[in-house]
Structure 1
Amino acid sequence: MTHIRCGMDVPGRGGALSVHAEGRQLPCGIVRDGNTSAGKERWRHVADVALVVLGAGFLAWLVSRGLRVGDQPNADFFDFYFGAVAVRDGQDLYRVNDGGYIYPPLLAVVLRPMTLLEPTTAANVWTMLLAALLITTAWLVGEETQRRLGLGFSRVRTAALASVAVVMLGQTWKSEFQWGNSNLLVLLAVVLSLRWVERWPAWSGAALGVAVGVKYLPIVLLPYLLVRRNWWAAGAFAGALGVVLLGPAMVLGWERNLEYLGVAFRG
């Protein structure tokens, strides 16, 4: 405990009150006990650690759900997987697996290496990839939250904020892992785009272009770039989107790629 003593108003010494605390002379006023602040900080740390443990446990549960994807033939992952098989074998991408693949051809082309694995094994690998994407995305959200709110930086606090993001959207992630979807790929690209929009606008636009090349929904963010007159970001968006839409032609051929894009955009 800190002991304090306020001095009297002494003529000839400026009339200022003073306080003597542990051998130091300070202006007289309210002196807070340092132990109180330290105690609060300890409790914050304990709370952060508890949130991290909760988030880790929830992530483990999500992974356990995802590892059952192989037992669900109608899971979204198998639309991607058999789409990649179609690309590998030269079949019609939009006719295999009951026409389940409805996206631009980029994802099917990128996932071709997974066709070297059996479908169930590939589904398990996909689940682990989703876990890595979720950890990365949530961590970036935690970092950006600290930066924008001026909370300083702490790895434990970042992990705690990431855990909050994971647990609060638990139902969304449950569906993502249970069906082996690809939304986390898109979400990571969108988070990177928003993170970079002020510091590296060109990279921000490129990330958004890649996101739209996988699924169309993030295109709703393009008007934001235009209204803000962020021409670097908007230009990079157009360039990146062109690359991810036309790039698969190197594998599929120009004619087939354009045909696939027409099918994808018609829905």
Structure 2
Amino acid sequence: MTTLSPTTGSRPARRRSTVLPAAALSVLAVLVAVAAVVVHRGTGRFWGDLAVYRVGAVAAAGGDGALYDVIHRGTDGIALGFTYPPFAALLLQPLAYLDAATGIGLWTLASVAAVAAVVRMTLRAAGVDTGPGPVLLGTVAVLPVFPVAGHLQVGQVGLFLALLVMWDLTGDPDSRWRGLGVGVAAGIKLTPLLFVVYLLCLRRWRAAGVALVAFAATVGLGLAWRPVDSIRFWGGGMLDTARVTGDPRTVLNQSLHGAVARIGDTADVRAVWLPLAALTTVAGLVVAVRCVRAGSELLGVLAAATTGLLVSPISWHHHWVWCVPALVLLVVRGRRNRLAVAVAVLLWTALVASAAWTVIGLLGVDLHFHGWQLLHSNLYVLVGYAALGWLAWRPDGARADGEEGWGR
């Protein structure tokens, strides 16, 4: 006579509780990708950044010297050129052989998968369940926030960079390859170089060295592949912010530079912005280091990421996809702190509502930077400084007594 384990009957139920959310997550990614293709074919609009990546990939595939001469002009009349290092164009080569619709579908599919991966890494770093159920709920919750929705709308690369950095800096602290993700991310887009400074401030010399070697390798690969374009980019082209935007005051530029420009209502604010940016960099990195010393690697990474977003000359709304791990962390923290839940709900609502910036732009309404409009147009900058201020006061994230440190 065979005796059944009391847990045997529950195994199919547990299996279903794992398989069904995983299947739902896959279906969600496919549905969002299909919707993106349908919207593109029906309107011919959006996905302008992905179109720039594609024309850049095509130009680079055609030979050396043309990468930074190509211009994509969207249906909105805005002309955009390729602004990333040649190494990025090398990674983007598959786009040169895909039509626009196929590229949009695959890019959107990969982007949703990246969101899910960031959610999972955040949950793991926070020491809670990383099963497909919580990951599915977190992914569904963050898709409507404007940094993520706007990222999907234009076909940006920021989610993949955040994923690389999260994988690198919240993973195994003893890995000999720590720093690799930061170096590769910086080779694609320069802004993650701030994380090298972050590692140096933490005296993680090996990880910083690995990051710098990896970054140098990306530069070397780009130079070997497209020497003329590489010399042009590293010889000064990377400093030409006019290729990114003609006026930093645009509301979608949620950086300190953009905020100062809007407050002064002038594009030339270097005399004010540079010292403020330097002060913010130092203060933000101090906060990041204090968070790590207080026991939270994840909060340190988020503080460093927020610092980078604030001090970069141009930080578009979709660069703020770092709100994804921040929101997930707040919800996790809310299991023991109702205030964290309230902050998460308030922040989520504000980030969703900020999509009004795009609606206003599509309607051709001009924003006047004074009064409530000035506060609204600098929303992400204000949230970023508020977050750094809170962490400066409570670098441990104000966790409850006896609670595990986040990201340990």
Structure 1 counterpart SS, 2:54: helix
Equivalence for 2:90:
109
What is the aligned partner in structure 2 of residue 174 from structure 1?
A: 149
Q: Distance in 1 between matches of 2:141 and 2:66?
A: 40
- 1:228 positional shift: 1.7
Q: 1:76 to 1:150 in 2, by over 3 A?
A: closer
Give CA deviations for 1:129-173 in whole Å, capped at 9, x if unaligned.
32343343333333x24xx4266xxxxx52233224323322333
Pick one of 166, 184, 190 that aligns with 2:165: 190
Structure 2 residue runs of 5 or longer lacking an equivalent are 1-12, 72-78, 242-408
Displacement after TM superposition at 1:242 (Å)? 0.7
Change in Cα spacing, 1:51 to 1:83, as seen in structure 2 (3 Å) is: same
Q: 1:118 to 1:49 in 2, by over 3 A?
A: closer
Q: Does 1:210 align with 2:184?
A: yes
* Alignment length (residue pairs): 219
Structure 2 partner of 1:62: 32
Query: Is 1:78 equivalent to 2:25 in the alignment?
Result: no
Paired with 1:116 and 1:54, the residues of 2 have a C-alpha distance of 30
Cα distance, 1:207 vs structure 2: 0.6
Alpha carbons of structure 1 residues 55 and 101: separation in structure 2 relative to 1, 3 Å: same
Change in 2 beyond 3 A, CA 1:208/1:50: same
Aligned partner of 1:256 in structure 2 is: 229
Alignment of 1:87-102 (within 5 A): 87-90=60-63, 92-97=66-71, 98-102=79-83
Distance in 2 separating the partners of 1:66 and 1:113: 19
Task: Give the TM-score normalised by structure 1.
Answer: 0.68
Task: Decide which moves more: 46-55 or 120-129.
Answer: 46-55
State the distance in 2 between where 1:179 and 1:150 align.
33
Matched, 1:223 2:204: no
User: Does the 8 A contact of 1:62 with 1:174 survive in 2?
Assistant: no
User: Which residue of structure 1 lines up, in the alignment, with residue 380 of structure 2?
Assistant: none
Change (3 A) 1:83 1:100: same
The CA distance in 1 between the partners of 2:182 and 2:89, in whole Å, is: 19
Give the Cα separation in 1 of the matches to 2:209 and 2:52.
32
Query: Residues 115 and 122 of structure 1 are in contact (CA less than 8 Å); yes or no, is this contact kept in structure 2?
Result: no
- 2:223, 2:48 → 1: CA distance? 27
2:179 counterpart SS class: helix
Name the CA distance, whole Å, in 2 between partners of 1:150 and 1:185: 23
Q: Which residue identity is paired with 1:240? A: A
Q: 2 CA distance for matches of 1:158 and 1:245?
A: 38
1:18-48 Cα shifts (integer Å, max 9, x gaps): xxxxxxxxxxxxxxxxxxxxxxxx9x99998
- Residues 178 and 125 (structure 1 numbering): CA distance in 2 closer, same or farther, change over 3 Å? same
> Structure 1's 217 and 162: CA in aligned 2 closer, same or farther, altered over 3 A?
farther
1-structure distance, mates of 2:20, 2:93: 40
Q: In the alignment, what sits opposite 1:240? A: 214
* Range that drifts further, 163-172 or 220-229: 163-172
Q: Could you tell me the TM-score, scaled by structure 2's length?
A: 0.46
1:136–1:166: structure 2 CA closer, same or farther, 3 Å change rule?
same
- Aligned-residue offset at 1:123: 2.5
Q: More displaced, 101-110 or 65-74?
A: 65-74
- Using the TM superposition, give the Cα deviation of residue 230 of structure 1 relative to its aligned residue in structure 2, in angstroms: 0.6
1:132-151 correspondence runs (5 A): 132-142=113-123, 144-145=124-125, 148-149=126-127
Report percent identity of matched pairs.
22
Contact in 1 for aligned 2:30/2:109 (Cα 8 Å): no
Q: Distance in 2 between matches of 1:49 and 1:109?
A: 37
Q: Deviations over 1:170-223 (max 9, x none)?
A: 2333222222111122011011112236121x4221110111122233233233
Where 1:248 maps in the other structure, the secondary structure is helix
Q: Is the 8 A contact 1:192 1:204 kept in 2?
A: no
1:230 and 1:58 map into 2 onto residues whose CA distance is: 39
- Alignment CA distance shift 1:113-1:56 (3 Å): closer
109-118 vs 129-138, which moves further: 129-138
Alpha carbons of structure 1 residues 122 and 237: separation in structure 2 relative to 1, 3 Å: same
Residues 213 and 74 of structure 1, relative CA distance in 2, 3 Å threshold: same
- Aligned in 2, Cα 1:48/1:120: closer, same or farther, shift over 3 Å? closer
